[in-house]
Structure 1
Amino acid sequence: MPRAPLVRFRMDPAYAPADKIARRLCLTEAQFAACARKLYARGFPLPDETTGMYDIEAVDRWRKRQRPDLYPELTPTQPAADIARPRTDWGARFAEAEERQRNG
C-alpha cells in the first residue's frame, strides 16, 4: 500500500461555520446570531443551504464593500453625469431638431 507523503501542504478552507465567521467579525457566536437578520438585510452572504457553512471570501468581500472609502476598487463606478440620456419625449426631440435646423 502506498504511503502518504511526508510533506503536507497547508490548505486554507473556503467555507467556515458560523462561530468562525463570528470571530472573523470580532463577535461572539451569540452576538452574531443576534444581529444576523440585520446583516442579511444589508447583503451579508447567506450560509450554504446544504452545509450551513459560510463562504469566507464572500464574507471578506462583503466586509470590504461596507467601507468604500478604504476599498474604492470594490465599489462600482458611478456613470458620468454629463452623458446625455436618450429622450422619449417627442416634443422635446422636435424642438431640438428645429433648433439644429435654425442654427444650421
Structure 2
Amino acid sequence: MTNSRSPSPNQIRFAVEPRLVPAQKAARRLHLTEAEFREKLDALLRVGFPAACSITGHYDLKAIDEWLDARAGIGEHEGKPKRNVMDGLKERLALIGNPSPKVGPK
C-alpha cells in the first residue's frame, strides 16, 4: 500500500521556484489580471515580449524580467552593458532640455 500523504517539512530539502510559469503568473509579474494579459498579449508580443514555451505553454520569468529591464533601459541586452538608472534619467532630462538632477551630498 502506498502512502498518499504529502512529504513532511523535514523531507523537503529545498523550495523550488519555477522559472516557467502559466499565463496567470506571467500576468501577475506585469501587474495585470489574466484576462487583461490575454487581451494585451498580441500588443506585448509585437513589442518584443517573450513568447510562451512551445511545449509547455508557460512563460519564462527571467526572460520577462530581462524584457522589462531592456524596455526601462536598465538591463543588459543586445550586448550592451547594464546602465545606471541615473544615466537614463539624465539622458531623458537632456532630451527635454532640463539640467541634470543634483545627486549626492550637498
Give the superposed CA RMSD: 1.9
Partner of 1:10: 15
Residue identity opposite 1:62 in structure 2: W
Please report the TM-score for the alignment, with normalisation by the length of structure 2: 0.60
Alignment partners' CA distance in 2, 1:19 and 1:63: 17
Residue identity opposite 1:63 in structure 2: L
- For residue 7 of structure 1, report the CA deviation from its aligned partner: 4.6
Please report the TM-score for the alignment, with normalisation by the length of structure 1: 0.61
Q: How does 1:54-93 map to 2 (within 5 A)?
A: 54-68=59-73, 71=74, 73-74=76-77, 76-77=79-80
- For residue 73 of structure 1, report the CA deviation from its aligned partner: 4.0
Residue identity opposite 2:21 in structure 1: A
- For residue 37 of structure 1, report the CA deviation from its aligned partner: 0.5
1:38 aligns to 2:43 (yes or no): yes
Instruction: Tell me which structure has the larger Cα radius of gyration.
Output: 1
- For residue 6 of structure 1, report the CA deviation from its aligned partner: 2.7
Alignment partners' CA distance in 1, 2:18 and 2:42: 25
Structure 1 residue matching 2:69: 3-state secondary structure: helix
Aligned residues: 72
1:50 aligns to 2:62 (yes or no): no
Alignment partners' CA distance in 1, 2:79 and 2:44: 21
- For residue 8 of structure 1, report the CA deviation from its aligned partner: 1.9
Residue identity opposite 2:62 in structure 1: E
Partner of 1:92: none
Question: Which segments of 5 or more consecutive residues in structure 1 lack a partner in the other structure?
Answer: 78-104
**Conserved in 1, the CA contact under 8 Å of 2:21 and 2:60?**
yes
